[in-house]
Structures are given as C-alpha cells and as structure tokens.
C-alpha cells in the first residue's frame, strides 16, 4: 500500500459539528495562540482517543484538529513565518495532550519536528515544499537507506521503521548514507555522510507492522521506497555542525523531540486525575481510607518532581539557544530528564493502580490504556537508563577541567 492510498492521506477535514470550535481558534501565529488553540481542542482529543487507538493511527478528525490548532508549525523559524516556539512551550503543549491520550501526544511531538526539518532547506526548496507551514512531516533515520549520487540529486532506496505520524503526514523523510560511483561519501569528521531526504509520497510503501501493546494511536508504521529520484535540494545534512549564529531552533541537530519527555508526565497526570476522581466520588458516601489518601498524595508528589525535572531541563536549553551567538554546553544538553520522568511515571501509575484496585486490568477501564502506553513510552531510546551515561560523563569532564 502506498501512502497516497491510505484513507487519511492528504485529508484535513474536521467534522461539521466542529465548525463552532474552528471559529473559536486563534490564528496560530505565536506560541500563546497555539497553546490556547490546543487547550480548545482537548475535547476532540478525548473524543478521538478510542478510535485512534483502534485504528492504530490518528483519525482524520484528530489530525485535522492538530493542524488547525497550529501544532505542526511550532518548530518553524521566525524568518520563515513560524512561531519559533520555545522548547518549554513545546513540552507544555505535548503534556496537555498526553494528560488525555499519550498516543495522540506522540503524534504531536513527532510531527512538531516539521519545522526543524524544513529549516534545513534552501530558500527555493522551502518555497516549493512548504508554501504553507501546516504540512506535517514525519521521518525516521534508522535503519539508514542508500542514496546514490546522480545528475541533479540522488537515487534512493531504503526501508525505515517507526514512522510515527506517517498516516497523518503530508511528507515523510528517510535517513540515507550517500554513495558516489559506488564509493561511500564521508563527512568532514570521517564518518559516513548521512542525509535526510524528502521522499515522494506517491512512491512510499507503508508496512502493515504496527501491531503493538502501547502508543497504538502513534501510527508508527514502517515504510520503504525503491530507486526513487530525490532532487539534491530536497535533502539536508542530518548531523550538521552546531552553529551558534543560526536561528535558535536550528543551532543543534539534537533539539527536536525534547518535548517527548513530557508524555510520561502526561500519563502520570492522567493516572492521578483518575485516582483523584475515584476518591472524590467515594468520599461522597463514606470517609476515604487514610491509606488511599496517602497513596494519592505520594503519587502527586512524584508527579511534581517529574514535571520539575523535565521543565528545568528544557528551560536550561531555551535559555542558551535563544541567546544570540551561544550554544548549550554538553552539561545542558545531556538528556537525563526523560528517563527520570519515565521512572517516576512508572511509580505514579503503580501507586494509582494500587489505589483503584482490580478494575485497572479491564479493557473497558480508561486506566488500562495508561499502563500500555507507558510501556510504549519506556521502550523508546530517549527513556533508556543509558541516557544517564552522558549526564555522568559531563560531571566527570567538568570536574577534570577544574583540577
């Protein structure tokens, strides 16, 4: 099946009953307006969560609502007409959605990288591919495909996994290693040159391989192309040299996806909300057991800790990348926030499950999806404990530097 054969491809229509909601949305020109719009469409997130999970990707209505709110444009630079949203605000946007449905939040976080990718394009290619900013773009860089240099561009063949959001995407990227005359092209540091290339949507073959435990609504299907031509201008250096003089969100290759750390926080918030509602309901007819109140209080305390870690991390990055001429230090960029948030979210979900009792195992109960989605989040490399190696290394390097 090609991408353009799928029911969701290219569709941006909301239900007729959403006309009043659409009319209430603000023009998505700045961060404040987009955050307000996301808050306004949260009822749609709740309404489309079950259907999106059942489909294995977002419904058309859900994707269109994110588009109308301006979610897909948040990473575009100001000089390209974008809101150039701070990472702190991007993280807040994703958490708001994750507190209702983590799978839909995963789509928002991944497709919000559209502007980060598009920012690497030259002016002509940008004008061709993004005449308007709301063209969601997904991408995967593993495993790498192959790009052979030809006149005017490349012939590309490859197969990629985890194309999150691909069913709702206008464009999709693939990571490729470059070959010229059969010889591998190397970057300046001697490693293989890796490009991100915009793939022709009509040539993309979707894989029916997204049958998973959690984050089903993320629609992270694999995809492939075979011997397709890619113009040279429709590519960018995946591992470009950090540039302190670039626009803030294009100073470093590592800046997209920091917002995914807040998905675990959103799941934890959802768990606390469900547990709180349950105890409030019980308290209407009888005093609440002190042990259960203690479980809820402990969960809330861990939730505040998880949120503080995540937002302090992206806040430090924001302070640096939005300072002209400055790059964040390795200490600032070391990703310890996501594994901390994931570990604390596990603890919070366990506490709330103990409070709620056996009902959490039933598929009809909303808590059941929280458990599954948290498994999906914790399977992602950003949450692995190995991330703490970078944190430890920066501490040792800093200590050695002052000796």
What pLDDT digit, counting tens, does each position of 258-314 carry? 999 999 999 999 999 999 999 999 999 999 999 999 999 999 999 999 999 999 999
For domain 3-129, the CATH superfamily is Acyl-CoA dehydrogenase/oxidase, N-terminal domain (1.10.540.10)
The fold adopted by the segment(s) 137-237 is Butyryl-CoA Dehydrogenase, subunit A; domain 2 (2.40.110)
pLDDT value at residue 23: 82
Give the chain's residues under pLDDT 50.
Answer: 4-11
pLDDT value at residue 2: 52
DSSP 132: S
pTM (predicted TM-score): 0.94
Query: Which of 302, 294, 279, 273 lies closest to 367, judged by CA?
Result: 273
Two structure tokens written together for 309 = 């870690």
**Does residue 35 contact residue 200 with C-beta atoms inside 8 Å?**
no
Pairing of strands 235-237, 194-199: antiparallel
Domain ranges of the chain: 3-129, 137-237, 257-397
Query: Which of 225, 229, 205 lies closest to 155, judged by CA?
Result: 229
What pLDDT digit, counting tens, does each position of 316-346 carry? 999 999 999 999 999 999 878 999 999 999 9
Sheet strands (E) in 311-389: none
The fold adopted by the segment(s) 257-397 is Butyryl-CoA Dehydrogenase, subunit A; domain 3 (1.20.140)
Q: How many CB atoms lie within 10 A of CB 47?
A: 17
pLDDT value at residue 18: 83
**Does residue 236 contact residue 195 with C-beta atoms inside 8 Å?**
yes
């Amino acid at each position: 099946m090609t991408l353009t054969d799928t029911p969701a491809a290219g569709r941006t229509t909301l239900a007729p009953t959403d006309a009043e909601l659409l009319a209430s949305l603000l023009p998505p020109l700045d961060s404040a307006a987009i955050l307000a719009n996301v808050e306004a469409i949260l009822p749609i997130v709740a309404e489309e969560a079950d259907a999106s999970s059942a489909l294995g990707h977002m419904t058309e209505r859900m994707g269109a609502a994110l588009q109308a709110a301006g979610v897909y444009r948040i990473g575009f630079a100001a000089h390209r007409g974008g809101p150039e949203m701070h990472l702190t605000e991007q993280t807040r946007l994703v958490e708001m959605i994750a507190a209702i449905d983590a799978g839909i939040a995963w789509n928002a976080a991944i497709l919000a990288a559209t502007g980060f990718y598009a920012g690497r394009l030259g002016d002509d290619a940008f004008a061709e591919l993004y005449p308007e900013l709301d063209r969601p773009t997904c991408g995967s860089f593993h495993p790498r495909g192959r790009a052979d240099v030809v006149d005017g561009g490349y012939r590309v063949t490859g197969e990629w996994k985890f194309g999150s959001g691909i069913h709702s995407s206008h464009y999709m990227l693939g990571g490729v290693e470059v070959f010229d005359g059969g010889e591998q092209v190397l970057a300046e540091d001697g490693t293989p040159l890796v490009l991100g290339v915009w793939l022709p949507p009509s040539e993309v073959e979707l894989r029916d391989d997204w049958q998973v435990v959690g984050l089903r609504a993320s629609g992270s299907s694999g995809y492939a192309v075979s011997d397709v031509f890619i113009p040279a201008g429709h590519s960018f250096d995946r591992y470009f040299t950090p540039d302190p003089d670039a626009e803030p969100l294009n100073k470093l290759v590592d800046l997209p996806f920091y917002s995914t750390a807040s998905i675990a926080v959103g799941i934890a918030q959802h768990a606390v909300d469900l547990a709180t509602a349950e105890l409030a309901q019980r308290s209407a007819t009888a005093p609440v057991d002190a042990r259960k109140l203690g479980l809820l209080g402990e969960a809330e305390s861990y939730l505040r800790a998880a949120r503080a870690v995540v937002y302090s991390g992206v806040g430090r990055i924001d302070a640096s990348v939005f300072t002209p001429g400055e790059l964040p230090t390795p200490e600032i960029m070391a990703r310890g926030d996501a594994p901390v948030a994931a570990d604390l979210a596990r603890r919070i979900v366990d506490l709330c499950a103990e409070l709620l009792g056996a009902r959490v195992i039933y598929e009809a109960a909303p808590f059941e999806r929280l458990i599954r989605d948290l498994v999906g989040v914790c399977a992602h490399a950003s949450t692995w404990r190995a991330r703490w190696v970078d944190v430890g290394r920066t501490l040792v390097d800093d200590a050695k530097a002052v000796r």
